[in-house]
Chains A and B, each alone.
Chain A
Amino acid sequence: MTVDGWQQGVYDVIKERRIELIGYVPDAGHASLIDNARRDPDIRDVLLTSEEEGIPLCAGAWLGGMRSVLLMQSSGVGNCVNMLSLQRIARIPLVLIVTMRGEYAEFNPWQVPMSSITERVLQLCDFQTYRVDHAEAAGETVAAAIDMAYASNVANAVIFSQQLLGRKKWVE
């Protein structure tokens, strides 16, 4: 399956589940989802300066009754930690889709310190986490995360592995 193929599948799942706001800090692994969100007149696409803004952004949307997802790279998870107290103390449904760096054919060693603890950090912050290594599982896993978060007012994170995303092209 091509990257665009499975990412389109993820976007379709997001739409089917009545997500109307997508916050993001750009990442190459999320490029297709971000393009879709920006083109979609029914989605509020919110570009963030730092991932941590996404946590209160989604909480505010939920106070008004709107469902959302947040897109970020593994390094961004570390930026969110204290802000996640809002999600946990208020039991706000929250869905993160995290693209991994620093674990497969990684060129930049600076990606490793955060990526090596990303999933454990999420679990310490009371997230249910799901790791996706195969394109076929991406859409269904995102669906499962959205369903659980909004059924139970909890935090779920889907982690797209670097192998799934493929080697980063440093020269176009």
Chain B
Amino acid sequence: MGRVNAGAEPTAELERRTVVGNLLAGREGLAVITGLGSPTYDVAAVGDHERNFYLWGAMGGAVATGLGLALARPDLDVLVVTGDGEMLMGMGSLATVAAKAPENLAILVLDNGVYGETGMQPSHTSLGSDLCAIAKGCGIRNSWRVSTQDELEDIRDRFQRRGTVRFLLVRVATEQPERVMPTRDAVENKLRFRMAVDANR
């Protein structure tokens, strides 16, 4: 049997949807890109928004999507919300992000240590990998890892303040809240998003 939650807290107290709601409260102009699976449902559950772009596939592409948007639009604040499995598939993009270090990009990884969509198989973060250390090692100096509400409150302002690229890993409980499904029509989502951010100017 593989090690589960090795190197991490044996049980995580934070509930993923509470964390996302907390970090999206009062979002104003923030643009949000979601990684496929639970992060897409979490962001939709907090409230559908014309500045959300939801990935339902292209696994590993959430951070690179956020990078492209952040580089194209320095006037926007961009938040990527993804999970440990999606982030593991796109780890190289953390090095790509670090090399450009856009000041308007923040990356939130909800790390429950399992692949929730496919039957709760342990992910590499349950088997010894630390995505926060990887982000730091890629060159994202402002990388933090939290596992309690107090730690989240302590870091929240720094995570949300532009000025440098930021990475936050939050250890969350494995409980899967009810699925809240946003549109799967990517053309509709794209057109709505582009109109909201005035991409046709």
Taking Cβ atoms with an 8 Å cutoff, the residues of A that contact B are: 20-21, 44, 46-50, 52-66, 68, 82-83, 85-86, 89-92
Contact = CB atoms under 8 A, between A and B. Distances in A.
A83 B90 CA distance: 11
B163 to A, nearest CB: 19
Given A65-B201, A66-B72, A91-B190, A44 B92 contact: no
A53 B92 contact: yes
A56 B72 CA distance: 13
Given A48-B96, A60-B69, A53 B197 contact: no
Contact of A46 (B59, B66, B96): B96
A85 B58 contact: yes
A84 to B, nearest CB: 8
B188 to A, nearest CB: 9
16 contacts: A20-B72, A48-B92, A49-B93, A56-B58, A59-B61, A63-B31, A63-B199, A64-B68, A64-B72, A65-B194, A65-B199, A66-B71, A66-B73, A86-B186, A90-B187, A91-B187
A21 B71 contact: yes
B48 to A, nearest CB: 17
Interface string B177-198: 0000000001101100110011
B72 A21 contact: yes
B65 interface: yes
- Most chain A beta-carbon neighbours within 10 Å: one of B33, B55, B68, B197: B68
Top 3 A-B pairs, shortest CB-CB distance: A60-B68, A65-B199, A49-B92
Contacts of A49: 92-93, 95-96
Contact of A83 (B33, B58, B190): B58
Contact of A64 (B186, B187, B199): B199
Contacts of A63: 31, 53, 65, 68-69, 72, 190, 193-194, 197, 199
Nearest to A45: B100
Interface of B: 31, 33, 53, 55, 57-62, 64-73, 76, 90, 92-93, 95-96, 99-100, 186-187, 189-190, 193-194, 197-201
Chain B contact surface mostly: helix
Given A21-B68, A47-B96, A49-B95, 11 more contacts: A49-B92, A53-B92, A55-B58, A59-B65, A60-B64, A60-B65, A61-B68, A64-B199, A65-B198, A65-B201, A66-B73
A63 B197 CA distance: 8
- Most chain B beta-carbon neighbours within 10 Å: one of A44, A46, A56, A85: A56
A135 B173 CA distance: 58
B100 A46 contact: yes
B199 to A, nearest CB: 3
Nearest to B55: A86
Contacts of A56: 58, 61-62, 64-65, 68
B95 to A, nearest CB: 5
Contacts of B201: 65
A83 B95 contact: no
Contacts of A58: 68
A95 to B, nearest CB: 14
Nearest to A59: B65
Contacts of B96: 46-49, 53, 57
B187 A55 contact: no
A56 B68 CA distance: 7
Nearest to B201: A65
